């Protein structure tokens, strides 16, 4: 909800005011306010990744031996640096799983940055899934067989509904 996102933003500003303020002030997307767009994107990604927001979710092991963690299925290798950037504290995957607020902060920081960098929530969703925007994602597949194009399509269905 927007109230919850506001609480998270306030919490994040107390931790790292300069970084958080800059990350969350991306341009308007789809006519919505910044906060509303980020909240819609967050719910869309949670719907795809963890059935709507299972903060304890752990994905299957990938070919590299890593797993995805939490409501947004953040790869374990990214957790220490992303939590450090978003909250000021580097976390292990286990600490990340136990901290829904950190999961929300990481999503807002990283996905918000993707929207700012790539200019659209669809490209941000592609980068979240593949590491690359739509034009460069080669319709990659994850360990479960989901293609990049299918992921972005699911994102759009949730985001614009």
Give Dmax (Cα) for the chain. 41
Instruction: Supply the pLDDT for residue 142.
Output: 87
What residues contact 53, with CB distance under 8 A and at least 6 apart? Answer: 43, 46, 71
Beta partners for 147? Answer: 141
CA proximity to 74, closest of 155, 145, 128 = 128
Instruction: Supply the pLDDT for residue 21.
Output: 33
Instruction: Supply the pLDDT for residue 124.
Output: 96
Dump pLDDT digits (tens) for 57-74.
999 999 999 999 999 999
Residue 4 has pLDDT above 50, yes or no: yes
Mean per-residue pLDDT of the chain:
84
Q: Is 0.85 topped by the overall pTM?
A: no
Residue 2 has pLDDT above 90, yes or no: no
Whether the Cβ atoms of residue 12 and residue 20 lie closer than 8 Å to each other: yes
Dump pLDDT digits (tens) for 86-139.
999 999 999 999 999 999 999 999 999 999 999 999 999 999 999 999 999 888
d(CA 91, CA 88): 10
CA proximity to 96, closest of 55, 41, 146 = 55
d(CA 150, CA 135): 14
Q: What percent of the chain has pLDDT over 70?
A: 79
Task: Indicate the Cα dihedral angle 93, 36, 7, 53, nearest 10°.
Answer: -40
d(CA 9, CA 26): 14
CA proximity to 125, closest of 96, 158, 93 = 158
């Amino acid at each position: 909800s927007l109230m919850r996102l506001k609480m998270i933003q306030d919490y994040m500003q107390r931790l790292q005011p300069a970084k958080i303020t800059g990350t969350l002030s991306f341009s308007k997307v789809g006519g919505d306010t910044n906060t509303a767009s980020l909240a819609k994107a967050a719910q869309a990604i949670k719907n795809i990744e963890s059935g709507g927001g299972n903060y304890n979710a752990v994905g299957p092991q990938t070919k590299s031996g890593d797993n995805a963690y939490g409501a947004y299925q953040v790869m374990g290798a990214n957790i220490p640096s992303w939590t450090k950037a978003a909250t000021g504290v580097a976390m292990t995957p286990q600490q990340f799983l136990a901290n829904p607020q950190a999961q929300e902060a990481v999503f807002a920081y990283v996905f918000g940055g993707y929207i700012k960098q790539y200019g659209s929530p669809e490209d941000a969703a592609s980068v979240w899934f593949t590491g690359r925007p739509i034009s460069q994602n080669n319709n990659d597949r994850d360990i479960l067989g989901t293609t990049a194009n299918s992921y972005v399509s699911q994102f759009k269905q949730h985001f614009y509904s």
